[in-house]
């Protein structure tokens, strides 16, 4: 049952279409296909206007390759995909075909709709899925997307100029757009998803709201970014500056 849900959820995070495959790169067929190629993470799904609890299914992401194949990260599931010129998406996996309509698509975000819930194909209605891409086509995004994955130690954090550096707090950014906050050895329920838009990194904790931070500078070994909300403290709004070193 879990595998069926995972297979179905793949469609929810895919800007897909899978009917015929040839030896050419599918990404070259149209502009939408070029933007789809990459890694995507679904961050919001509604059914008849009601939000779906994604925590039930965990953070699942998929990587779409330019040759029309794709894989669900962290699993052995693979499938084929294409995107038609009329913005219709179809996923074909294990003889199951699901189609959706692309509503909006940029290098960093996508929204599509359908009539069948990919998580549970017995549920029908107005399905809306929003996704974030792990790194876009922007030059800065490409650079940051290459440097950010890994484990970072928060060695200096200030809030309105006051030091509030946590003890041995680490942020782990995975290449598939997921991550983990290691709070001095405590990691339970500390998963998050992340995405880049230019020099802005958006972080969505498992049980929290999306927080946006501006990257001031980044190298392969250290980075500094700032925002208006202290991470892990939604009630603390002010000038937050975070410096991290890669370990």
Q: What stretch of H or E contains 189?
A: none
For the chain, helix, strand, coil in percent to 5 are: 15, 50, 35
* Same-domain status, 195 and 210: yes
Q: State the pTM of this model.
A: 0.46
- What are 157-189's pLDDT values in tens digits? 999 999 989 899 999 999 889 999 998 888 888
For residue 228, what are the contacts with CB-CB under 8 A and spacing of at least 6? 237, 238, 239, 240
The number of distinct structural domains making up the chain is: 2
Looking at the structure, do residues 6 and 120 belong to the same domain, yes or no?
A: yes
Do 108 and 209 share a domain, yes or no? no
Give the mean pLDDT of the chain.
77
Domain edge (last residue) among 133, 155, 174: 133
Which residues span the domain enclosing 201? Answer: 139-246
Q: Are residues 13 and 123 in the same domain?
A: yes
Check whether 151 has a pLDDT greater than 60. Answer: yes
Q: Which of 112, 133, 154 is the last residue of a domain?
A: 133
pLDDT in tens, 21-37: 443 454 445 667 777 88
First to last CA, the chain: 39
Question: In this model, does residue 154 exceed pLDDT 90?
Answer: yes
- Residues 16-24, mean pLDDT to the nearest whole number: 40
**Dihedral through CA 74, CA 77, CA 78, CA 79, nearest 10?**
-130
Please indicate, yes or no, whether residues 94 and 158 belong to a single structural domain of this protein.
no
Query: Is pLDDT at 2 greater than 50 in this prediction?
Result: no
Q: The tokens 């595998």 sit on which residue? A: 3
């Amino acid at each position: 049952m879990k595998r069926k849900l995972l297979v179905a959820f793949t469609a929810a995070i895919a800007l897909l279409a899978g009917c015929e495959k040839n030896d050419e790169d599918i990404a070259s067929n149209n502009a939408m296909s070029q933007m789809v190629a990459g890694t995507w993470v679904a961050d919001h799904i509604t059914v008849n206007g009601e939000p779906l609890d994604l925590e039930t299914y965990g953070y699942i992401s998929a990587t779409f390759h330019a040759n029309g194949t794709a894989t669900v990260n962290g699993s052995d599931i693979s499938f084929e995909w294409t995107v038609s010129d009329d913005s219709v998406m179809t996923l074909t996996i294990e003889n199951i075909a699901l189609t959706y309509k692309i509503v909006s698509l940029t290098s960093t975000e996508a929204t599509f709709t359908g009539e069948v819930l990919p998580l549970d194909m017995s549920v029908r209605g107005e399905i809306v899925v929003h996704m974030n891409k792990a790194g876009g086509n922007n030059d800065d995004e490409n650079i940051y997307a290459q440097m950010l994955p890994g484990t970072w130690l928060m060695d200096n954090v200030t809030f309105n100029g006051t030091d509030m550096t946590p003890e041995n707090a680490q942020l782990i950014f995975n290449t598939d757009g997921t991550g983990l906050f290691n709070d001095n050895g405590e990691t339970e329920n500390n998963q998050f998803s992340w995405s880049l838009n230019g020099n802005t990194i958006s972080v969505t904790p498992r049980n929290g709201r999306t927080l946006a931070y501006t990257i001031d500078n980044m190298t392969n070994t250290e980075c500094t970014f700032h925002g208006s909300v202290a991470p892990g403290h939604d009630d603390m709004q002010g000038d937050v500056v975070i410096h991290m070193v890669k370990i």
